[in-house]
Amino acid sequence: MTEAEPCFGPLCPLMALYGAQSGRELFEWLQERTAGFSVPPPEFGAALSERDYFLILPVQSRTVILDRTVPDRGTPFTGLQLQVTDAAHPLQLDWQTVAMLGKRASLMITFPLQNYTPSEYRQMVEDLLVAAQNGVRWLRLDTSRAPSWPEGGEFLSRLEAHGFVQLVRRTLDLVAPHIRLAAGENAPQAQNFAFFGSGGEADLVENLALAPLLLHALETEQAAALVAWASGLKLPYPGLTFYNTLRFTGRDSFRCVEGLLPPDEVERMLAHRTRGSGFLSALAGLPGSERFDLLQERLRAAQAILLALTGLPGFELSHLPGGRLLRARTSWGAFHPYGAQLTLPVENPAVFSLLRIAPDGRSLALCLQNVSAGLQEARPDLKTLGLQTGAWHDLISGEKAEFTQRPRIRLKSFQAVWFVPEEDPSKNLSLEVDA
């Protein structure tokens, strides 16, 4: 490709990855294949709302577990993430059933990130076309199956991998621009955000450091590392937010906390957590977790922190929160996926504290989480934060409280509270934060 040769849309990464001739041939095929192809955006609209969260369902090809309401909870979910477990090809699903789902819920499907050959790229386009035709609204790039590079080294450490992410994104822009892209990798946070959050690829960046940091906080009963991590979570540009899950893949997940936890802390945690993967099995491996009640308390604490953070949450059916917690989140605009968050000093290392503010500034929530099994006290400074005193209430329990400038808030074992003011907070909210 010469400097004068035009390059636009998916043509650029195609030519960069496959060379000028092969790239242009693929681009011409793509134009011919998609000529006249048009998929209207889903009827429920493309904008995220504070009601959005995903239920992650592992499914087999030609099989879909279906219901608009979470079993035994009476809580409707907004989206489904379909994680194919047995298909040789990523999108071998029962598309008739998926299409019915797509009319009622926001659908996310997983898709492997790899170094596609030209023939595999053609198949990827066919997959994207059928997905777009059947109501898929989100595409999650699965980096766990990314191959090693032939010359050695990991695929995701190569510059070419960035080109393949761009290729998926730009192909989507042509095939189905309403489909949004979620991506993340088991890598240090700075590398993860720099790779996927630069503005040209992902609409959601997975917070893969969240699960190991939650495990660390619940094991040590100290929230300092979790607070330090959360304080650095900033949305770099409009239109990007985070995808928060309790996704845990064992030893590989601890790559995400390099620079966030001391190496000896990581090794100590790994010493008794190498027997299985998954957040529940890892949580059960924490010292003192033999009792079922304690395990459930710790799980609820992790769920409450995940739901309080900025971004779009996703839960597997095995650790879906109770209806009360979900209803509390979906009822309040401060938990909008694009809202701001600010970690707060509460002078108690066993308490994780967060202030959530709606994008329009019209609602806020003071979220406090005890990460220990003991009784704890938090004393947030409302005056310094520019928050009002007076009547507040907890969205989770319904409990009411009269806040002074430095209220004493007592938290039981692993208790979460989401306090909101009784009056319109926008009247006297003077706090300015970056999203």
Tokens representing 282 are: 């890892």
Phi (first) and psi of residue 301, to 5 degrees: -65, -45
Low-confidence ranges of the chain (pLDDT < 70): 1-8, 42-47, 58-77, 84-92, 144-159, 197-200, 272-277, 424-435
**3-state percent helix, strand, coil for the chain, nearest multiple of 5:** 35, 20, 45
According to DSSP, the residues that pair with 28 across neighbouring strands are none
Question: In terms of CATH architecture, what is 351-427?
Answer: Sandwich (2.60)
Nearest Cα neighbor of 210 from 156, 264, 254, 146 is 254
Tokens representing 406 are: 């430095």
Q: Cα 11–13–14 angle (5° rounding)?
A: 60
For position 433, what pLDDT does the model report?
Answer: 37
| Radius of gyration for the chain, computed over Cα atoms and rounded to the nearest angstrom | 23
Fold type of domain 49-332 = TIM Barrel (3.20.20)
**Integer Cα distance of 384 and 362 in angstroms:** 19
For position 430, what pLDDT does the model report?
Answer: 40
**Integer Cα distance of 127 and 146 in angstroms:** 18
Which tens digit of pLDDT belongs to each residue from 291-343? 888 889 999 999 999 999 999 999 887 788 888 898 899 889 999 999 999 99
For position 431, what pLDDT does the model report?
Answer: 40
Q: Give domain limits for the chain.
A: 49-332, 351-427
Give the residue ranges of DSSP H helices in 176-291. Answer: 189-196, 210-220, 224-231, 263-271, 279-284
For position 45, what pLDDT does the model report?
Answer: 59
Q: For the sheet containing 416-421, what is the strand order?
A: 340-343, 351-357, 364-370, 416-421, 390-394, 400-403
pTM over cut 0.85: yes
Which tens digit of pLDDT belongs to each residue from 341-351? 999 987 899 99
